[in-house]
Amino acid sequence: MEIFAQEKINKFIGKMRAEVQEFYRGTYLENTGRYKGIWAWLTSTDHKRIGLMYLYAIAAFFIVGVIIGLLMRIELISPGKTIVEPQTYNGFFTVHGIIMIFMVVIPGLSATFGNFCLPIMIGARDVAFPRLNLFSFYLFLFGSFLAILSQFLRHGPPDTGWTFYAPYSTTTGTNVIMATTAAFILGFSSILTGLNFIVTVHRMRAPGMTFFRMPLFPWALYATAWIQLLATPVVGITLLMIIAERLFNIGFFNPELGGDPVLYQHLFWIYSHPAVYIMILPAMGVITEIIPTFCQRKVYGYKAIALSSVAIAAVGYLVWGHHMYTSGMSGKSLWLFSFLTFVVAVPSAIKVFNWLATMYKGSIDMKPPFLFALFFIFLFTIGGLTGLVLGALATNIQVHDTSFVVAHFHYIIFGGMGFAAFAAVHYWFPKMYGRMYNIKQATIASIIMFIGFNLLYFPQFIIGIEGMPRRYYDYFPEFQPAQVISTIGGFVLTAGLILMFYNLIRSARKGEKAPANPWNGTTLEWQIPSPPPLENFEEIPHIEEKPYSFK
Amino acid sequence: MEHQAKAHLLEHRDDEASKLGMWLFIFTEILLFGGLFLVYAVYRAMYHTQFHEASLELNVIFGAVNTIVLLVSSMAVAMALTALQENKVKLSRQLIWLTILCAFIFLVNKYFEWGGKFEHDIYPGSELLKKLEHGHILYFGLYFAMTGLHALHVTVGMIILIVVERRIKAGKVHAGKFVFLENAALYWHLVDLIWIFLFPLLYLIT
């Protein structure tokens, strides 16, 4: 009797084992579910597929944003009218801002590479709430759809700039309600991603992976997720107030009814300054992954990097006032905000020094991801130091609302986050597709982009100090040489982008097969096959040591 | 090992994670209202006498009744959870219906309260309001915005509770798997909590 039962159990276990092995055989790129073709992607709750879908959507929006940016550059090549009317130009910079900020940069790294890598890097099979993850992707798509729709409806594209400053945003006749609703929905999507990541990091880490054994990209994502969660609702309610103002004329920000427009600016920047750290923290995380791998050296100051992410997230909440030095504030608040702005620069500098120290005596391998990371450090440092010019009270008055701000911002966001995103694509590409891109083309593209980028934005620093205002359609003739250089830079940058996109798209289909660990990385994503199997790990690993131990 | 792996493939369940997720969501809700509380604080400081005058227009009885109704509903939903954990399914469902009923009474009350204000020509953009002073206009603007957003949350809470009740009836939520009810109850407590702040701020402080 007993023997018979044992036999039955053995048979059962054997069957189970076969089924499990069958399940693991396919990669996540092959379809195993109920649906075929594109539906197998659109209904997938797999974090890797959702990450890729975000990547494709964001790349598409990025191209739209680049085209609009390029049109603005062409318009600015000479004073007066070049190709469009002033009202269209106002629409251009608003749309460029909304697309690039809310649809590209904010979800750009955490939703794409965060989704793809976070569960793998902490040794999990998926995020904590896979269905919520898919839902937040659809919210993202819906919000983006509304944002684009607002450009084409009857009253014309919103012309407020991406900041929706009151009272103009509550009185202009353009489609502000739809654009703010879009931003609200995109914000909600961002909140849900953040929530998902926090719970994932708390609940899903592999056994043995303590917080201080976690790789540093997950650390950065974790700090980012807290900002997403705690700052975004504030802009949510602020945008709802703008909508209420327009629909019901309540008077929150209308001086005629007793409201205070400056209060809007406070509420807006309480979110939107931390949002800048939502953009840059994951970028710093990516760079922190790449540098040790391509130097084959343990990261210098692991704890300092991990905790500086948290410090940036915390102090970043308290510096919003530095956007409003000229709006009218008490002297005390002015110096306090300025002081805190200088404080928040410290943890960023800690990271830069740690990256440099990691390279010291490393065996450096100048592959495209590392090259992008170096460009990141260069551009981010320029952006960061010019940020201090803006954060200091006296110099701020001179450069406030000039193209100096535009240049600073693009050095941080495009030169920083953008180049980090390119670095991330080139770093994890072989893992995502199991194929390798053309290294030479990628290197050439990165150098072209680096040159184009500096040509485009550096002149804006100079004419900004000389007094060229931002968001202006027209300008004095003495600014023209710099504007021409900028426009040429814009075209060079675009040429680099085209080469990069061509290389990546072609290689995703036809590139040569990549090994599981082409860069000799140590984090968990390099220990599994490329592309990863559906459930990432056949057996959840046990973590015994700190990350980045190169043997 | 295989058993565990297979079980993982079939069902991924972590009640602690669900609860943590709900708490984080509640943080975001509090910050959403936090924006309005901030605006309230600023304008109360700027126009405190006019806020005082305007607040006398509100009916404390209406507000107090609604507060009691919501407190009872919060108690009912907490009891429903305990009942379900003790496998008293029928009692649990009855208590959830009691919660939903309380929510409905709250909304009916609110309807009459708002209706009364509209009758007296007090609503954003009304002729009467335009003639009043700035502090009065902002007070009523905030009154409608804050109670309106709260009423929206009450409605959402009701819908969630109805879904929970259906799921308990269908046997999908039960004594061994009650985290969905627990999270719904947490959300309902949040709705209650926000009202606990709105009531004194709008009705009682004079």
pLDDT tens-digit readout, A46-69: 999 999 999 999 999 999 999 999
| Per-residue pLDDT band at B1 (split at 50, 70, 90) | very low
- Distance between A467 CA and the closest CA of chain B, angstroms: 35
Q: Which of A13-27, A274-288, A436-450, A458-472 has the lowest mean pLDDT?
A: A13-27
- Distance between A155 CA and the closest CA of chain B, angstroms: 23
* Residue A327 tokens, joined: 């709006």
- Distance between A516 CA and the closest CA of chain B, angstroms: 23
B191's CB contacts (< 8 A; 6+ apart) are B70, B150, B153, B154, B157
The angle at the Cα of A319, spanning A374 to A317, to the nearest 5 degrees, equals 85
Which helix (H) or strand (E) covers residue A179, if one does? helix A176-203
B14, B16, B124 ranked by CB distance to A250: nearest? B124
Quote the mean pLDDT of chain A: 92
Q: What pLDDT score was predicted for residue A527?
A: 93
Please report, for residues A122, A392, A548, B9, the alpha-carbon distance to residue A206 in angstroms, rounded to integers and kept in the order given.
6, 45, 17, 17
A377's CB contacts (< 8 A; 6+ apart) are A287, A352, A355, A356
Q: pLDDT by residue (tens digit) across B75-94?
A: 999 999 999 999 999 999 99
* pLDDT tops 60 at residue A347: yes
Which residue of B31, B47, B190 to mutate against A (max A Cβ within 10 Å)? B31
Burial degree of B195 (CB within 10 A; 0-12, 13-18, 19+):
buried
Q: Under CATH, domain B18-204 is a member of which superfamily?
A: Cytochrome c oxidase, subunit III, four-helix bundle (1.20.120.80)
- Distance between B183 CA and the closest CA of chain A, angstroms: 15
Chain B contact for A125, CB < 8 A? yes
Q: What pLDDT score was predicted for residue A338?
A: 95
* pLDDT tops 80 at residue B162: yes
Q: How far is it, in rounded angstroms, from Cα A446 to Cα A368?
A: 7
Residues listed for chain A: 551
Chain A contact for B43, CB < 8 A? yes
H-state helical runs in A255-330: 261-295, 302-316
* Adjacent-strand bridge partners of A469: A402
Domains along the sequence of chain A with CATH: 54-527 (1.20.210.10)
Give the nearest chain A residue to B30 (CA atoms): A233
Q: Answer whether A250's CB lies under 8 Å from B47's CB.
A: no
A236, A260, A539 ranked by CB distance to B32: nearest? A236
Q: How far is it, in rounded angstroms, from Cα B31 to Cα A188?
A: 13
Interface touch B145/A230, C-beta < 8 Å:
no
B20, B134, B137 ranked by CB distance to A202: nearest? B20
Give the nearest chain B residue to A233 (CA atoms): B32
Chain A contact for B36, CB < 8 A? yes
Interface of B with A in 135-164 (CB under 8 A): 135, 137-138, 141, 144-145, 149
* Residue A406 tokens, joined: 């535009």
Chain B contact for A423, CB < 8 A? no
Mean pLDDT of A279-304: 95
Helix pair angle (A216-248, B134-169), 10° resolution: 120
Q: How far is it, in rounded angstroms, from Cα A486 to Cα A417?
A: 20
Mean pLDDT of A452-467: 96
Sign of CA dihedral A103, A105, A111, A112: positive
* pLDDT tops 70 at residue A478: yes
Q: What pTM was computed for the model? A: 0.92
Q: Answer whether A288's CB lies under 8 Å from A358's CB.
A: no
Interface touch A229/B43, C-beta < 8 Å:
no
Which helix (H) or strand (E) covers residue A436, if one does? strand A435-436
* pLDDT tops 90 at residue B129: no
Q: Which of A324-338, A484-498, B7-21 has the lowest mean pLDDT?
A: B7-21
Please report, for residues A227, A277, A376, the alpha-carbon distance to residue A315 in angstroms, rounded to integers and kept in the order given.
11, 10, 23
Q: pLDDT by residue (tens digit) across A1-26?
A: 555 677 777 777 777 766 655 555 57
Please report residues of A whose CB lies closer than 8 A to that of B11. Answer: none
Q: What pLDDT score was predicted for residue B11?
A: 56
A551's CB contacts (< 8 A; 6+ apart) are none
Q: What pLDDT score was predicted for residue A188?
A: 95
Mean pLDDT of A218-229: 95
Q: Which residue has the tokens 């919103």?
A: A158
DSSP state, residue A388:
H
Please report residues of B whose CB lies closer than 8 A to that of A16. Answer: 2-3, 6
Q: What pLDDT score was predicted for residue A403?
A: 96
B57's CB contacts (< 8 A; 6+ apart) are B117, B122
Q: What pLDDT score was predicted for residue A3?
A: 59
Q: 3-state DSSP call for residue B173? A: coil
Q: Shortest CA distance to A292 belongs to which of A283, A280, A278, A302?
A: A302
**Percentages helix, strand, coil for chain A, rounded to the nearest 5?**
70, 0, 25
Interface touch A248/B124, C-beta < 8 Å:
yes
A538's CB contacts (< 8 A; 6+ apart) are A24
Please report residues of B whose CB lies closer than 8 A to that of A535. Answer: 9
Interface touch A128/B32, C-beta < 8 Å:
no
H-state helical runs in A26-85: 37-42, 47-75
Which residue of A222, A249, A254 to mutate against B (max B Cβ within 10 Å)? A249
Please report residues of B whose CB lies closer than 8 A to that of A250. Answer: 124-125, 138, 141, 144-145
Interface touch A539/B1, C-beta < 8 Å:
yes
A428's CB contacts (< 8 A; 6+ apart) are A113, A116, A117, A525
* pLDDT tops 90 at residue A34: no
Which residue of A15, A192, A195 to mutate against B (max B Cβ within 10 Å)? A195
Please report residues of A whose CB lies closer than 8 A to that of B24. Answer: 195, 198-199, 229
Please report, for residues A75, A286, B36, the alpha-carbon distance to residue A540 in angstroms, rounded to integers and kept in the order given.
56, 24, 46
Q: Answer whether A327's CB lies under 8 Å from A319's CB.
A: no
A469's CB contacts (< 8 A; 6+ apart) are A401, A402, A403
Instruction: Give residue limits of the domains in chain B.
Output: 18-204
Backbone angles phi, psi at A512, to 5 degrees: -75, 155
Please report residues of A whose CB lies closer than 8 A to that of B29. Answer: 233
Chain B contact for A286, CB < 8 A? no
Interface touch B8/A125, C-beta < 8 Å:
yes
* Residue A434 tokens, joined: 């199991």
Burial degree of B102 (CB within 10 A; 0-12, 13-18, 19+):
buried
Chain B contact for A506, CB < 8 A? no
Q: What pLDDT score was predicted for residue A140?
A: 97
Q: What pLDDT score was predicted for residue A133?
A: 96
* pLDDT tops 50 at residue A300: yes
Please report, for residues A228, A232, A354, A424, B11, the alpha-carbon distance to residue A273 in angstroms, rounded to integers and kept in the order given.
12, 11, 25, 24, 40
* Adjacent-strand bridge partners of A435: A513
Q: What pLDDT score was predicted for residue A12?
A: 74
* Adjacent-strand bridge partners of A533: A27
